A and B are shown apart, each in its own frame.
Chain A
Amino acid sequence: GESVGLHLPTLSVQEGDNSIINCAYSNSASDYFIWYKQESGKGPQFIIDIRSNMDKRQGQRVTVLLNKTVKHLSLQIAATQPGDSAVYFCAENAGNTPLVFGKGTRLSVIA
């Protein structure tokens, strides 16, 4: 498959453990945040989003936490599975402006 990032930060976790992927953003005006998952050879796939009036949002096995004070976003994946292995991107925007993507983190699940 294609490599979407040769020198990305990598997080290795044991199957069944929880994963936490972090993202720092720089624009204090950003009010909308999204996490995307990109598997090899595929386009990014939406995981979960959160708006700035919230600090936590939960989905199926995933939780996004937003700390506006320190401009930090995290994605927590519960009971990580081999199928979760991918590159994860955070993205942000302010108002109706283009999404700005972070550099990504590669998650590797050890079976």
Chain B
Amino acid sequence: KAGVTQTPRYLIKTRGQQVTLSCSPISGHRSVSWYQQTPGQGLQFLFEYFSETQRNKGNFPGRFSGRQFSNSRSEMNVSTLELGDSALYLCASSLSGWTGELFFGEGSRLTVL
């Protein structure tokens, strides 16, 4: 069974640009959540999607957005990039939500110059 796949694995952007990250969940998983991981703040929850609907949202500015498609694949977008957006962005999938195990991908490492 294939795991959670995130693309791209590494990317470099400059301030003011925008970026789109992609996540393919484990087959059959309908919940996809996104986390930002930085050395200073640890893992911070961004948002969760279930059946194409945003079900939960963390405390991040509106520059951070996401969506989920009918096949459960998800994308997140960050617009007007800032230096502080440099982080590892992790996607996790689960069958139905937060009451069981989350399966994480290996992340997308974003560097903003």
Q: A7-B39, A103-B42, A104-B42 are in contact. Are A98 and B105 (CB under 8 A)?
A: no
Contact size range, B = 20 to 34
List 20 additional contacts besides A2-B109, A91-B43, A96-B97; criterion CB under 8 Å: A2-B88, A3-B39, A4-B88, A7-B39, A32-B98, A34-B102, A36-B104, A41-B106, A43-B104, A43-B105, A44-B102, A44-B104, A49-B101, A95-B98, A96-B99, A98-B45, A99-B98, A99-B102, A101-B35, A101-B42
Given A2-B88, A103-B42, the answer on whether A96 and B98 have CB atoms closer than 8 Å is: yes
B106 and A43 contacting across the interface, CB-CB below 8 Å: yes
Q: Does any Cβ of B come within 8 Å of A42's Cβ?
A: yes
User: B22: shortest Cβ distance to chain A, in Å?
Assistant: 15
A interface residues, Cβ below 8 angstroms from B: 2-7, 32, 34, 36, 41-46, 49, 89, 91, 93, 95-104
**What is the total of A-B residue contacts with beta carbons within 8 Å?**
59
Nearest A residue (CB) for B58: A98
- CB of B27 within 8 A of chain A? no
Bound CA span A5–B58, Å: 21
Q: Does B51 contact A (CB under 8 A)?
A: no
Q: Indicate if B64 sits at the interface (CB-CB under 8 A).
A: no
A69 to nearest B CB, angstroms? Answer: 24
Distance A5 CA – B41 CA, assembled complex (angstroms)? 9
Chain B interface, >50% SS class: strand
**In the bound complex, CA of A99 to CA of B56 (Å):** 11
**Most chain B CB within a 10 A radius of its CB, from A3, A41, A102:** A41
Contact of A100 among B45, B48, B103 (CB under 8 A): B45
Instruction: Please report the C-alpha to C-alpha distance between residue A10 and residue B105 in the assembled complex, in whole angstroms.
Output: 25
The residue of chain A having its C-beta at the shortest distance from the C-beta of B3 within the complex is A43
Contact across chains for A46 and B102 when beta carbons are under 8 A apart:
yes
Asked if A93 and B98 sit within 8 Å, CB to CB, the answer is yes
| CB within 8 Å for A101 and B43 given contacts A2-B88, A2-B109, A43-B90 | yes
B109 and chain A: residue at smallest CB distance: A2
Query: What is the chain A residue whose CB lies nearest that of B41?
Result: A103
